Structure 1
Amino acid sequence: MKRRRTPSRIRRSVAAIVAVPVIAMSVACAPGAGPAGSTTLALAHTVDTGHPIHRCGVESFVSHVEQRTGGEITFDVFPSGQLGNEQELADNTVWGDLDVTQPSAGHAAEYFPPLSVLNAAYLFDGYDDLQQVADSPVGEELWAGLRAETGLEVLGVWPQGIRQVTTSAAPVRTPEDLRGVSLRAADSPIWVANALALGAAPTPMALDELYAALQQGVVQAQENPVNLIDSNSYDEVQRYLSLTDHVVQGNPLVINGARWASLTPEQQEIFREAGRISAERLRACLEQDAETITAGWRQDGSMEVIDDVDREAFRDRAEQEVVPRFDDQWNGLYQRIRSELEDAS
């Protein structure tokens, strides 16, 4: 296993530890401890409890495992970045300080670089494409590569939403409309490359800094799924929502390798069932919520929704700008995935 980053048990912020002193100590000092006759696992993520990832994905997964194991396995759940950001949670899960999380493919790529292809702009046209690739030989190759590097076992792929661009000054319909516009990008090479492909000037920044940065004009634009735009109230500090549909994002749901090996074959199958069921439930929630939220913005005018986006212009730019930057990591994966999806359509 290649150690690519400093373990975040060393880097974890004091603020996160102070915020949940009793719970964090229980994870760090007594992993696996639970009620008599049961094992308690720690599951952490970065969104708030109102987001579909928590109320549909996490709650469905946890409920299924706890019910199907008859309480032999239970969970302590830590939402809202209580135990760190996505990269820290990924690191902690690799090194065994955390049991289950769902890092973005871009962050998991810190360990196995080819995974970043899953976050490439305009790779997928919708959730069906995402799931098809996740279940395909290409997906199995990617999960096997991550397993070989980290020991992590992939239990499924959780959709995160379809990413859209919001701006404060003017609507976006073509890449030219983003020329010179400062757009927040997650601090990962693939997300910076995607922002460049959109035509913007990327500004890497942690998500928890974004609202203030938009409010103060440090950045003029951002890109995220509608559900997260709503839950983080970016509509309060942005004027236009442009439906670019540039990334259909899915995150691998992963469990620490040693923890996975400690489960019985029956329990492992329950975890895989839970991964599939929770992914389906999460997709339904994301689609329904995105439709409801967007309709609300159209009705009350809190954000102007731009439908007539030239997505083909963005797609062409992504293929010209993003793919060559990662040729040495992807080794033809982007083209292979696009070809297989087009053949299946």
Structure 2
Amino acid sequence: MFRFAKAVAVALLVVCLAVPAFAGKVVLKLGHIAEPVHPYGQGADYFAKLVSEKSGGEMEVRVFPSSQLGGQKDLIEGLIYGTVDMALVGTAVLGQFQPQISIFDLPFLFKDRDHAYKSLDTVGMELGKALESKGIKLLGYMENGIRHMTNNVRPIKTPEDMNGLKIRVMTNKIYVEMVKSLGASPTPMAFGELYSALQQGTVDGQENPSAHIFTKRFFEVQKYASLTAHAYAPEPMVISMVAWNRLTPAQQDILKAAAAESIVWQRDLSTREDAEYWDKIKATGQIEVIEVDRDKFAEATRPVYKEFADVVGQDNIDKIEALKN
């Protein structure tokens, strides 16, 4: 907590001081943890292409995938300090810096993808404004995907089947409590450590979208995948306020336009590739894919809402609920 407070203090000091504009060509570093072939990895590359086109080559976004600039918490702290210009990071980690944005990690929050998009583009953008005083500007939400459970011990068909399993989760209180509500033992762990932890039996299972299950080859070290669809995972596109304040208004407009266009493109790609990734996962023959009764899982996780209503704001939950129709 002290480390974060110190980071915010430094960032605020830097942002409040006169920040020199970029001299000559603008070059921005954008980091994320996914493989380049992941849908939001492709989205980052498409965004970079659009920025170059819209600026006539006067602006360049250099993308660093696969945790080359660090894990998600490293990226966020880099944004605050101004050592990282841009990033794609999960709300589960960003919520450590702006608690209300963790609302999007609540289990079974959305009716479908369209409901998610409406919520993110309205309530989500409003909540993102609070990040600016902490040194980060939200440009919009790409998509990580819909999360599902995998494990090595037994087929998971009901919440009772999760009893006693050690499940890796992100370092996020909502995910920890969600897994507890299902009877399993949550084990927070960095994404980069997950494959070896599954391989060595440090944890029994994990939860992620199909793109990560396939591109990170978790199917090689897991026996069962259960289609719980317990959470929708957005992937916020953010920029350091240090970098943002060095841009001219025209350059800022180029970034905002490129972000908006690339987000629409990436969401469409992610939706199409989700089904394709499940086909690829099944085709490996290395993991059994199991249908579940999602209503039972949703019911089991309802106490998580009561526990975090004060953190994320009951009014925000109500706003998102109202957008279902």
Q: Name the CA shift for 1:91/1:231 in 2 (closer, same or farther; >3 Å).
A: same
Residue matched to 1:46: 33
Question: Which of residues 288, 296, 306 is equivalent to 1:313?
Answer: 296
The range that moved more, 195-204 or 232-241, is 195-204
**1:32–1:39 CA contact under 8 A, matched in 2:** no
Question: Which of residues 173, 189, 196 is equivalent to 1:212?
Answer: 196
**1:185–1:191 CA contact under 8 A, matched in 2:** yes
The 3-state SS of whatever aligns with 1:296 is helix
Paired residues for 1:166-205 under 5 Å: 166-205=150-189
Residue matched to 1:19: none
**1:166–1:238 CA contact under 8 A, matched in 2:** yes
Quote the offset at 1:202 in angstroms: 0.5
- Is 1:302 the equivalent of 2:289? no
Q: Any idea what the Cα deviations from partners look like across 1:178-236, whole Å, max 9, x if unmatched? A: 01011011122122122223331111111111111111211111100010011111101
Distance in 1 of aligned mates of 2:76 and 2:180 = 26
Distance in 2 of aligned mates of 1:211 and 1:140 = 33
Residue matched to 1:145: 130
Distance in 2 of aligned mates of 1:122 and 1:59 = 30
Q: Any idea what the Cα deviations from partners look like across 1:71-116, whole Å, max 9, x if unmatched? A: 1111222111111110110111122111100221122222221111
Q: Name the CA shift for 1:340/1:110 in 2 (closer, same or farther; >3 Å).
A: same
Distance in 1 of aligned mates of 2:313 and 2:212 = 32
Residue matched to 1:277: 261
What is the identity, as a one-letter code, of the residue corresponding to 1:47? A
Distance in 2 of aligned mates of 1:243 and 1:291 = 12
Question: Which of residues 244, 248, 258 is equivalent to 1:260?
Answer: 244
Distance in 2 of aligned mates of 1:262 and 1:297 = 44
The 3-state SS of whatever aligns with 1:336 is helix
Q: Which runs of 5+ in 2 are unaligned?
A: 9-19
Residue matched to 1:335: 317
Q: Any idea what the Cα deviations from partners look like across 1:228-250, whole Å, max 9, x if unmatched? A: 01111110111111100111110
What is the identity, as a one-letter code, of the residue corresponding to 1:297? I
- Is 1:236 the equivalent of 2:220? yes
- Is 1:164 the equivalent of 2:123? no
Distance in 2 of aligned mates of 1:179 and 1:333 = 33
**1:32–1:41 CA contact under 8 A, matched in 2:** no
Quote the offset at 1:300 in angstroms: 4.6
In the superposition, the TM-score normalised over structure 2's length comes to: 0.89
Residue matched to 2:307: 325
Distance in 1 of aligned mates of 2:6 and 2:173 = 18
The range that moved more, 74-83 or 289-298, is 289-298
**1:157–1:253 CA contact under 8 A, matched in 2:** yes
Residue matched to 1:288: 272
**Total equivalences in the alignment:** 314
Identity of aligned residues (%): 34
Quote the offset at 1:45 in angstroms: 0.8
What is the identity, as a one-letter code, of the residue corresponding to 1:326? F
Residue matched to 1:94: 80
What is the identity, as a one-letter code, of the residue corresponding to 1:90? I
Q: Name the CA shift for 1:50/1:135 in 2 (closer, same or farther; >3 Å).
A: closer
Question: Which of residues 72, 78, 82 is equivalent to 2:68?
Answer: 82
Q: Any idea what the Cα deviations from partners look like across 1:265-314, whole Å, max 9, x if unmatched? A: 3322221221122222222222232212212333453211112x111111
Distance in 1 of aligned mates of 2:102 and 2:266 = 22
Distance in 2 of aligned mates of 1:337 and 1:200 = 31
Question: Which of residues 207, 232, 239 is equivalent to 1:223?
Answer: 207
Q: Name the CA shift for 1:171/1:338 in 2 (closer, same or farther; >3 Å).
A: farther
In the superposition, the TM-score normalised over structure 1's length comes to: 0.85
Residue matched to 1:61: 47
Distance in 2 of aligned mates of 1:246 and 1:57 = 24
